[in-house]
């Protein structure tokens, strides 16, 4: 995979081309101090929150204010950097998208971090909710630090303008989501996206779904993108209409789901009946065929024990108090050891 392919799959590149066939979205450039804040491991405390005690002098966009733990034991005060100008732009965008948004960076959403959100969902209504998800997500960190990790060309990394993408929140039914692999501008393979579950309607409507996706691809996508190899995520709604959800590089950074990258890139036939498929110019369509094959959610490994979730969300304040006492005790022990 070439770096250029990754550059072309940025949201702000593909969205203007396919705007009429995807979910309404707004793109805001990420200020450098916000990027620094997102990459700073020390400040999990969420900025932009109304209920965090703020000292008046900290209300700047400079972004270099660190979290302060007050020495005064009775009133531990936490301050996180605030970004008032950026916050205002984000709120305006959220309002323009009817109040609820799905956040992304140039390529990825914080799908691996939904456990940390109070509602266990990626739905956001404020910048502080977006920050909490972004700061807890490995996928977001990868976008920021290693976007070209699987590229095999030696050219220097292209400069990236980081962007916050806010998409109008849409209740998507996972059984309606499919990933389409496009090679040399041909739709060669389609996989059920949520392959961990069995959806009976997919097996009963296999042909209809496949034809609808193929028609959508031919009419609205084929030859319109900058590359001839790419991966398309689509959604078929309850009326049967197909929408574009995301566009991804054709290569290892993108999960090949029910295929393997070796199969997709080798040029060999994808199934025994490939001859039939080729004759009818039909992509190979794979889906989970029975409940027996249902697998654990692929994001499970990103989750952490229940206790930590309670701590991070403040759902169980007593647990948090116990945890802080424990930490304090530990620190005191360390201090006495040092004195001795
Ligand atoms: N606008 C939206 N509203 C609600 N859920 C969404 C929206 N866009 C995407 N999703 C859900 O989030 C998942 C990941 O979205 P996607 O844009 O493909 O991000 P990524 O590239 O990180 O996988 C999708 O499979 C879909 O279930
Ligand atoms: Mg994607």
Contact between 250 and 227 (Cβ < 8 Å) = yes
**17 by DSSP, 3-state: which?**
helix
User: What is the number of residues in the chain?
Assistant: 340
Residue 287 tokens, joined: 């889906």
What is the full per-residue pLDDT of the chain (340 aa) written as tens digits? 999 999 999 999 999 999 999 999 999 999 999 999 999 876 555 555 444 444 444 444 544 444 444 454 444 455 668 899 999 999 999 999 999 999 999 999 999 998 888 778 999 999 999 999 999 999 999 999 999 999 999 999 999 999 999 999 999 999 999 999 999 999 999 999 999 999 999 999 999 999 999 999 999 999 999 999 999 999 999 999 999 999 999 999 999 999 999 999 987 777 655 555 555 678 999 999 987 666 666 666 666 666 666 666 665 666 666 666 666 666 777 776 666 5
Ligand 1 lined by 3 (C-beta under 6 Å): no
The dihedral over CA atoms of 256, 261, 265, 271, expressed in degrees to the nearest 10, equals -80
Which residue ranges make up each domain of the chain? 24-50+60-168, 174-293
Quote the pLDDT of residue 267.
Answer: 79
Quote the pLDDT of residue 56.
Answer: 43
Quote the pLDDT of residue 282.
Answer: 87
Contact between 93 and 57 (Cβ < 8 Å) = no
Mutate to test the pocket of ligand 1, among 246, 249, 250 (most ligand atoms within 8 A of CB): 246
The residue nearest atom 26 of ligand 1, judged by CA position, is: 172
Residue 233 CA to residue 9 CA, distance in Å, equals 12
Contact between 228 and 175 (Cβ < 8 Å) = no
The residue nearest atom 5 of ligand 1, judged by CA position, is: 170
* Nearest ligand, CA 178: 1
* Nearest ligand, CA 97: 1
Contact between 82 and 60 (Cβ < 8 Å) = yes
Mutate to test the pocket of ligand 1, among 109, 193, 196, 257 (most ligand atoms within 8 A of CB): 109
Quote the pLDDT of residue 149.
Answer: 92
Pick the CATH number of 174-293 from 3.30.70, 3.30.470, 1.10.357, 3.30.1490: 3.30.470
Ligand 1 lined by 177 (C-beta under 6 Å): yes
Ligand 1 lined by 23 (C-beta under 6 Å): yes
* Nearest ligand, CA 121: 1
Residue 336 CA to residue 340 CA, distance in Å, equals 6
Quote the pLDDT of residue 196.
Answer: 92
Quote the pLDDT of residue 280.
Answer: 61
Residue 137 tokens, joined: 């997500």
- Between helices 32-39 and 138-145, what is the axis angle to 10°? 130
Quote the pLDDT of residue 114.
Answer: 84
Ligand 1 lined by 232 (C-beta under 6 Å): no
- Closest ligand 1 atom to residue 193 Cα is 25
* Beta-carbon count within 10 A of 261 CB: 16
């Amino acid at each position: 995979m070439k770096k250029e392919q990754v550059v072309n799959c940025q949201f702000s590149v593909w969205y203007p081309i396919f705007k009429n066939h995807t979910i309404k979205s707004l793109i805001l450039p990420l200020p450098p101090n916000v990027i620094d804040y997102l990459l700073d491991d020390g400040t999990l405390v969420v900025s932009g929150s109304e209920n965090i005690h703020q000292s008046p002098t900290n209300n700047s966009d400079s972004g270099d204010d660190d979290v302060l733990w007050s020495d005064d034991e009775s009133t531990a005060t936490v301050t996180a950097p605030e970004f008032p100008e950026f916050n205002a732009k984000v709120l305006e965008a959220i309002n323009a998208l009817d109040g609820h948004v799905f956040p992304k960076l140039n390529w990825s959403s914080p799908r691996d971090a939904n456990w940390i959100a109070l509602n266990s969902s990626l739905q956001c209504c404020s910048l502080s909710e977006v920050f909490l998800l972004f700061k807890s997500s490995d996928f977001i960190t990868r976008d920021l630090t290693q976007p070209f990790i699987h590229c095999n060309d030696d050219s220097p990394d292209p400069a990236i303008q980081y962007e916050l993408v806010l998409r109008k929140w849409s209740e998507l039914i996972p059984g309606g989501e499919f990933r389409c692999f496009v090679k040399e501008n041909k739709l060669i393979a389609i996989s059920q996206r949520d392959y961990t579950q069995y959806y009976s309607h997919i097996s009963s409507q296999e042909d209809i779904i496949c034809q609808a996706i193929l028609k959508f691809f031919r009419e609205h996508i084929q030859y319109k993108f900058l590359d001839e190899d790419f991966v398309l995520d689509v959604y078929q709604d309850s009326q049967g209409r197909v929408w574009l959800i995301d566009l991804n590089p054709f290569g290892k950074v993108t999960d090949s789901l029910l295929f393997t990258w070796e199969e997709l890139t080798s040029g060999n036939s994808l199934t025994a009946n490939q001859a039939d498929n080729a004759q009818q110019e039909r992509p190979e369509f794979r889906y989970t065929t029975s409940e027996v094959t249902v697998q654990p959610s692929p994001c499970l490994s990103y989750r952490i024990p229940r206790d930590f979730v309670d701590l991070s969300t403040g759902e169980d304040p007593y647990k948090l108090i116990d945890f802080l006492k424990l930490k304090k005790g530990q620190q005191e022990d360390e201090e006495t050891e040092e004195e001795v």
